[in-house]
Amino acid sequence: MIAGPPTIVSHLVDTRSHDATGAPRSMGFFTDTSICIGCKACEVACKEWNHVPQDGLDWTGESYDNTGCIGANSWRHVAFIEQARPVRQDDGAHGDLRWLMASDVCKHCAKAGCLDVCPTGALMRTEFGTVVVQSDVCNGCGYCVSACPFGVIDRREEDGRVWKCTLCYDRLRGDMEPACAQACPTKSIQFGPVDELRRIADDRVRTLHRRGVSEARLYGADRDDGVGGFGAFFLLLDDPEVYGLPPTPVVPTRDLGRMWGAAAAAAVSMVAGVVVAALRSRA
């Protein structure tokens, strides 16, 4: 669904991944689903640049959404959500349909559970604040798969290793725009410094609200949420659950320190109990 004419703002964003001194900046995506047309150009561009294997070639008869979900072979996924609007009896208006299009991607969480659990260091935080998998270090253990609250990370059957969006790390290092953002014809996918994108996103929500699109809301732009805010966040036109997104995502490892502390305390207590029992038995 296109809510008002597309607002092209990419020319207002400094998309260089390094500042004037050459220092890297925290970069990310703002995906405005209100102007996504479902063309899947982002999916194609991602596959072409990153040599991601083809998938989604089988017609299921259930949806025009051929890829279905994010996975090891679909680092970006454009969801097609068909909604039936209710019939209004008061004025005789008939119900109709609306399409919600949304290009989903790895959220590059500020507090990333996948990073916390990786035993080999295959997952790393880059100088741009993004999270990438070093495929030559990954041992395919799969701990990160269960640690992602969004189900983004996935193992590839052919080699057992995990794969996901890198936010085109190689392009960032050369001050190039990620392939998906460059290919998006409506600029639904906007790329730039995360703080600047948040300001643009706030302005866009206010604009839509003034136009009467009261359901417009941001998802993942709050630094105080359960994952510390997303490096890739979204403007949605309905509840997150409608798009297959968790309404209140929480990094599974948030209580890891407390749990280890409790386990250590329990171990100390157990050892102390054994020592006391041994001393008593000798007395």
- pLDDT-derived band at 264, boundaries 50, 70, 90: very low
Is residue 28 a contact partner of residue 231, using CB atoms and an 8 Å limit?
A: yes
At residue 185, does pLDDT exceed 70?
yes
pLDDT of residue 12: 58
User: Does 214 fall in a domain?
Assistant: yes
| Stretch 163-174: mean pLDDT | 96
Q: Verify that 243 and 261 share a domain, yes or no.
A: no
| Stretch 185-190: mean pLDDT | 97
Mean pLDDT of all residues in the chain? 85
User: Does 152 fall in a domain?
Assistant: no
- Gap between the Cα atoms of 34 and 82, Å rounded: 14
CB atoms within 10 A of CB 93: 11
For the stretch 60-90, pLDDT in tens is 666 778 888 899 999 999 999 988 766 555 5
pLDDT of residue 8: 43
pLDDT of residue 91: 54
pLDDT of residue 5: 45
- Gap between the Cα atoms of 25 and 194, Å rounded: 9
User: Does 88 fall in a domain?
Assistant: yes
Q: N- to C-terminal Cα distance for the chain?
A: 81
pTM above 0.85, yes or no: no
How many structural domains is the chain composed of? 2
Q: Verify that 35 and 99 share a domain, yes or no.
A: yes
pLDDT of residue 165: 97
Q: Verify that 229 and 267 share a domain, yes or no.
A: no
| More confident: 227 or 275 | 227
For the stretch 205-241, pLDDT in tens is 999 999 999 999 999 999 888 899 999 999 999 999 9
- Gap between the Cα atoms of 52 and 154, Å rounded: 13
**Strand pairing report for 27-32 and 232-236:** parallel
Q: Verify that 41 and 66 share a domain, yes or no.
A: yes
pLDDT of residue 265: 45
Q: Verify that 203 and 224 share a domain, yes or no.
A: yes
pLDDT of residue 9: 46
User: Does 145 fall in a domain?
Assistant: no
User: Does 194 fall in a domain?
Assistant: yes
Q: Verify that 180 and 280 share a domain, yes or no.
A: no
User: Does 186 fall in a domain?
Assistant: yes
In order of 20, 64, 65, 269, the CA distances from 81 in angstroms are 42, 10, 9, 54
Helix, strand or coil for residue 11? helix
58: nearest Cα among 50, 49, 68? 68
User: Does 136 fall in a domain?
Assistant: no
For the stretch 7-56, pLDDT in tens is 444 445 778 888 888 888 899 999 999 999 999 999 999 999 999 998 86
User: Does 1 fall in a domain?
Assistant: no
> Domain of 87: which CATH number?
3.30.70.20
pLDDT of residue 226: 85
At residue 255, does pLDDT exceed 90?
no
Q: Verify that 197 and 265 share a domain, yes or no.
A: no
For the stretch 81-128, pLDDT in tens is 988 766 555 555 556 788 899 999 999 999 999 999 999 999 999 999
pLDDT of residue 100: 93
Is residue 249 a contact partner of residue 221, using CB atoms and an 8 Å limit?
A: no
Q: Verify that 181 and 260 share a domain, yes or no.
A: no
Q: Which residues form the domain of 259?
A: 253-283
pLDDT of residue 272: 56
